[in-house]
Amino acid sequence: MTEAAKTAIAQADTIVGYRTYLDLIPELLIGKEVLSSSMMQEVDRCRRALELAEAGQEIALVCGGDPGIYAMAGLVFELAAERDSQAEITVIPGLAALNSCAARLGAPLMHDFAAISLSDLLTPWSLIEKRLSAAASADFVIVLYNPKSKKRSDHIGRARQLIMEHRAASTPVGIVTAATRENEAITITTLERLLEAEINMQSSVIIGNSTTFQWRDFMVTPRGYADKYNLS
Amino acid sequence: MTEAAKTAIAQADTIVGYRTYLDLIPELLIGKEVLSSSMMQEVDRCRRALELAEAGQEIALVCGGDPGIYAMAGLVFELAAERDSQAEITVIPGLAALNSCAARLGAPLMHDFAAISLSDLLTPWSLIEKRLSAAASADFVIVLYNPKSKKRSDHIGRARQLIMEHRAASTPVGIVTAATRENEAITITTLERLLEAEINMQSSVIIGNSTTFQWRDFMVTPRGYADKYNLS
């Protein structure tokens, strides 16, 4: 957590958020009004946060990761735009899963990458497939969000199949589950053996580009295709 | 800056880094050995950091942004792999330009995105063009790193041209220069008018997907292509 995030919470009158995340910061909630997921659902919470802000309160809306990457900032702005809200909105960036997972794996994101969510709840699966193929064909490192859930256990297999049309079976793949949490698990495998690895709803998967290599327990994408640095 | 980063610096014997970044944290350098860019260049600094760590020192190698996204972590691992270093290496994630710039623009990264550097120092320009076209054709939000330098003033124009083959001229584009610094500048424009905007070496450019819209001074990419939330 950054200093800026702590300061924003300290300055707020009311803290709004999903219970799981608020439970991680009990010391920051002392003396605050709290609206959590035990009281209302996501859309209602965001709408209520806007209403309170419009009425002059200072609100901190808390989520996990970076609110600006596949997270809460979008819903807030969608709702604010819908009602043309007069609330003053500031997004405080945080560490997204891609930042945390890349760090745990070594240095996989040293070159161009694409982030793709395999959830088809709000996106047609055909568009997700198109993106997987486009990213694989242009040698992007690929970060997969939402690789698997109970309802979507086969999406990761289909993604692997599409990517393997453009990339070697030996391509390094990193899987980070519950990054920095107690139950954190880190696996480095290959595209070929990807489906043998444990992957669940808390996992992010990073697939290397054609130059990515494994060294010890790390996954490293070199910074250049041309070797201008003459390291040796 | 995160608590984890501050703690790592506090625990280190020697701080290594580019002078520009070390100048931002004078209070964290008190009582530390410091190796900065005024003494040696990037590759030599990293190699020296590894040597000192191998000799038993605790070293903090400091860079701007997130060391894991287009930054120093890669060079460290490339050099460590080359010498099969016994140093214990931990990457502490931080806020990359894409986190900070997205936050300043509102919520542009709510859906799949591709990060592409327009620098052809270490990458063939033909591969960069291939990635621009692939990302544009599959409706990724596109984050451009290194959009312009003195030597590469025309790359952004060529990127715009390739993207416009797949995306409307009215697509929102956000430009953030020197995010969170004193000279920060934020512009929201369109693909059509992109080249009229001030863009320099400190800028990042975010190009919306087909659903991204501007509301007030914000750029918002809706979370879904299907509207399952029924916001209205």
Confidence of residue A158 (pLDDT cuts 50, 70, 90): very high
Mean predicted confidence (pLDDT) in B112-126: 95
As beta bridge partners, residue B59 has B14
A222 touches chain B (CB under 8 A): yes
Question: Given an 8 Å threshold on Cβ–Cβ distance, is A111 in contact with B123?
Answer: yes
Which value, in Å, is the radius of gyration of the alpha carbons in chain B?
Answer: 20
What one-character DSSP code corresponds to residue B85? Answer: -
Q: Roughly what angle, to the nearest 10 degrees, separates helices B125-137 and B155-164?
A: 30
Per-residue pLDDT tens over the stretch A18-41? 998 999 999 999 999 999 987 778
B138 touches chain A (CB under 8 A): yes
pLDDT at A232: 44
Query: Cβ distance B57 to B50 under 8 Å?
Result: no
Task: Calculate the alpha carbon distances from B36 to B2, B130, B178 in Å.
Answer: 22, 37, 22
Mutate to test the interface with B, among A2, A47, A72, A99 (most CBs of B within 10 A): A99
Query: What percent of chain A is predicted at pLDDT more than 70?
Result: 97
Given phi > 0 = left and psi -120 to 50 = alpha, else beta, which region is A56? left
Output the pTM of the full model: 0.95
**pLDDT over 90 at A97, yes or no:** yes
What is the predicted ipTM?
0.95
Query: Cβ distance A28 to A9 under 8 Å?
Result: yes
Per-residue pLDDT tens over the stretch A172-225? 999 999 988 889 999 999 999 999 999 999 999 999 999 999 999 999 999 988
pLDDT at B155: 95
Question: Given an 8 Å threshold on Cβ–Cβ distance, is A131 in contact with B112?
Answer: yes
pLDDT at B96: 97
Residues whose CB falls within 8 Å of the CB of residue B119, separated by 6 or more in sequence, listed in order: B145, B146, B149, B152
